Structure 1
Amino acid sequence: MASDLPAPATGARDGVIRVMLVDDSAVIRGLFTRALEADPELQVVASVGDGKMAVAALKRTPVDIIILDIEMPVMDGLTALPLLKEVLPEVRVIMASTLTRKNAEVSLRAMRDGAADYVTKPSSTSELTSAEHFKQELIAKIKALVGSRRSPRLDRPGMPPRPASVPPVGQAATAAVAPAGSERHPLFPRAKGGPLTLRPMVHDVPEVIAIGSSTGGPQALFQVLGNLPKNLRQPILITQHMPATFTTILAEHLTRIADRPCSEAVDGQVLQPGHIYVAPGDFHMIVESQGTSKVLRLLKTPPENFCRPAVDPMLRSLAAIYGRRLLVIILTGMGQDGMRGSDVVVQSGGMIIGQDEASSVVWGMPGAVATAGLCSQILPLSDIGPFILKQAMRTAA
């Protein structure tokens, strides 16, 4: 953290994530505070009712992460976001809103402007009180986003004591890389601190490109697809962990950024060259062969890796059809969705590219495939678009 942080109070325990809550409802802020501070690794150090107050509070009390409501009087969340980042550029911001089309649009704009992630709030205080899944999701995102970059916790009466030793959350290993051409059994992790093992490059020209992403994914997708020419012939399939409504808006944003057709997948839709397809919220997206056509299918089968849509089902279906002619990109995200699907891709002869740790908002998903020895390349975000283009524009030998 920055050197101007206040010195820890006497008896403070280190390793705690300091949170600011910004919401015009005092009731909501109170519920958030109780939910977060039930976890000994989190401390709410500021709680304010609008964006203007948040900017002023941040100047007095630097924090690790801000939960920022969208619709507020005086100054809304989208207006406050750049001002907060100006005060403390390294602060992580999670946008919080109810699930409406307007709020989904604003949340995606906020992520383009520097927000790290978003959460969809239950629509009423009674739902929020009982929404254990929402509370768990919020806490998991906070810990993944902040990782081991923490501050001293100022103990307060009635707060649970923090355990004497808590391992860093979301801490990823150093991305040293073993020489290209090294082999490692898929899903066999490297030794702690050892180099990441790269698989040999696949030399078949890909016929389809698949991308999996989660936390930080929209920002990464905007950059990767914005770096690709609109005449790229391969269809691109995207599974981004998002609820319905958000995936609709994401597809609209990608259409503008990529300057090529992009839409939510529709069941029974035939894959077309040059199109981008986004898995809709709450549906797994897979591909089936029907004669000479490749057809999208949307499934309500159980969540995988606690997600629906999930990356693994998409990758399994594509590996079965395309084999060596499949290129997979695993971008920033929490958890390890995509790792087992990537194993199937590798066994079928396809190629996996992982985003590197330094450019990832959270190095969970790409870190999982990298440390499992499944990647042929581990690249910074800025290099992924050019790499896709180079592979896609090659001519068959």
Structure 2
Amino acid sequence: MAIRVLVVDDSSFFRRRVSEILEQDPLLTVVDTAANGQEAVEKAKTLRPDVITMDIEMPVMDGITAVRAIMKATPTPVLMFSSLTHDGARATLDALDAGAMDFLPKRFEDIARSKEEAVQLLQQRVKAIARRRTLLPRSPAPATSAGASRPLSSLRGRSPLESRTTVATPAPAAPAERRSLPRRSGKSYQLLAIGTSTGGPVALQTVLTRLPANFPHPIVLIQHMPGTFTTAFAARLDGLCQIRVKEAEDGDVLRPGHAYLAPGGRQMMFEGRPGAARIRILDGNDKVNYKPCVDITFASAAKIYGGNVLAVVLTGMGADGREGARLLKEQGASIWAQDEESCVVYGMPQAVAKAGIASESLPLPLIGEAIVNEMVS
């Protein structure tokens, strides 16, 4: 049975363009279109589509408000379209907080090297999130003015529980919260490394808000995301978490209790020695599919930190992270993967698990607590 899609955008040209791309795939069918958020909310109720593609800036009702209303009335996987600007990044993150599962830039040429690749990417994303209806409903974020972001400074110093009430997180797969933590290994660590892609922004918020301010090791984060988004995303995480979070810069010294988010469009590596390692931010090879690339950062961590790393692979499409995790594993590092039930896309974690590299497969709501149990004395 074909996946039924509702396409929402105030531009008739863009509605037609997205519809034509989706209809090229025999597994996808566009059941209707809507020109604003209010129409989207009403048509979601009557048509019950499997997936909704949603613009952010629209008349009558904006996309963020529409997502919030849809998640309250008829929870449906939503793919947001966004401009690659700073304001667009902040609005997209607001939409993810409201309950959207994933996003893509409106200018397809910004995410693909050819028209064919862009078409396939959009089709794949829609099909991927359609399979994850089990993660719904999500708790809607508190109502804010259209497109507005919450003041990040007001969140500094809140407990993880208080911080989590301000953002939407995937509904845990029962009985995830009742599962026991993995037995503590007693291993010595010097670095926590986390790689993710599709579904990663919400997953990272869920994990990082569990970490205490006195977390004893540096943390590196690799999220597949455009360059204009990583700056805004790092700032948002910094406001939500007790640890400090920043977009990584060339020459940054890795410090305990600090998380460094790889900048979009570039590669993050390390030089030096444990305890005095520095971050190197490089343009990297254009032939590499991902910028930033989890494999590249994990491999660099293996050279500097050896086996004294806990690497966690979260939700994401593809297999990025598998080979880097393999190198870490060969050095004696611990590798964990997010379980299938709590992933938006069980691609990257599955690749690590199927290769026999991961020692633990954990539900998202448990991962942050498990990290603290494993790495904090």
TM-score range, shorter chain: 0.7 to 0.9
1:123-179 Cα shifts (integer Å, max 9, x gaps): 99xx99x84443322112112212398xxxxxxxxxxxxxxxxxxxxxxxxxxxxxx
Residue of structure 2 in register with 1:114 after alignment = 99
1:326-345 to 2 correspondences below 5 Å: 326-345=309-328
Give the drift of 1:384. 0.6
Q: Which structure's residues are more often helix, by fraction?
A: 2
Which of 5, 12, 29 is the equivalent residue of 2:15? 29
CA deviations on 1:13-38 (whole Å, 9 max, x unpaired) are: x2x11111100000111111111111
Consecutive unaligned residues in structure 1, runs of 5 or more: 1-13, 150-198
Aligned residue pairs total 327
**Aligned counterparts of 2:57 and 2:108: Cα–Cα separation in 1:** 13
User: Does residue 287 of structure 1 match 2:273?
Assistant: no
Query: Which has more radius of gyration?
Result: 1
Whether 2:321 is the aligned partner of 1:321: answer no
Which of residues 280, 295, 300 is equivalent to 1:312?
A: 295
Q: 2:348 aligns with which of 349, 356, 365?
A: 365
Residues 1:385 and 2:371 are matched in the alignment: no
Distance between the aligned counterparts of 1:23 and 1:273, measured in 2?
44
1:89-168 to structure 2, matched below 5 A, reads 89=75, 91-122=76-107, 131-147=115-131
Give the counterpart of 1:47 among 25, 28, 33: 33
Q: Distance in 1 between matches of 2:351 and 2:297?
A: 17
**Distance in 1 between residues matched to 2:119 and 2:219, nearest whole Å:** 34
Q: 1:81 aligns to what?
A: 67
Equivalent of 1:217, from 192, 197, 200? 200
Work out whether residues 108 and 118 of structure 2, in 8 Å CA contact, stay in contact via their aligned partners in 1: no
Aligned letter for 1:220? Answer: A
- Tell me, yes or no, if the aligned pair for 2:7 and 2:54 is still in contact at 8 Å: yes
Distance 1:369 1:95 in 2: 28
The structural deviation recorded for 1:260 is 2.7
CA distance in structure 1 between the aligned counterparts of 2:188 and 2:33, rounded to whole angstroms: 53
Q: Which runs of 5+ in 2 are unaligned?
A: 134-181
Once superposed, which parts of structure 1, at least 4 consecutive aligned residues long, lie more than 6 Å away?
none
Aligned-residue identity in percent: 42
Would the aligned equivalents of 1:23 and 1:50 in 2 still touch at CA under 8 Å?
Answer: yes
Structure 1 match to 2:238: 255
Aligned counterparts of 2:30 and 2:185: Cα–Cα separation in 1: 49
Report if the CA contact (8 A) 1:305-1:336 is conserved. no
TM-score if structure 2 supplies the norm length? 0.82
Q: TM-score, normalised by structure 1?
A: 0.78
Q: Secondary structure at the match of 1:324?
A: coil
Contact 1:305 1:337 (8 Å CA) reproduced: no
CA contact (8 A) 1:334 1:365 kept: yes
The Cα RMSD (Å) is 2.2
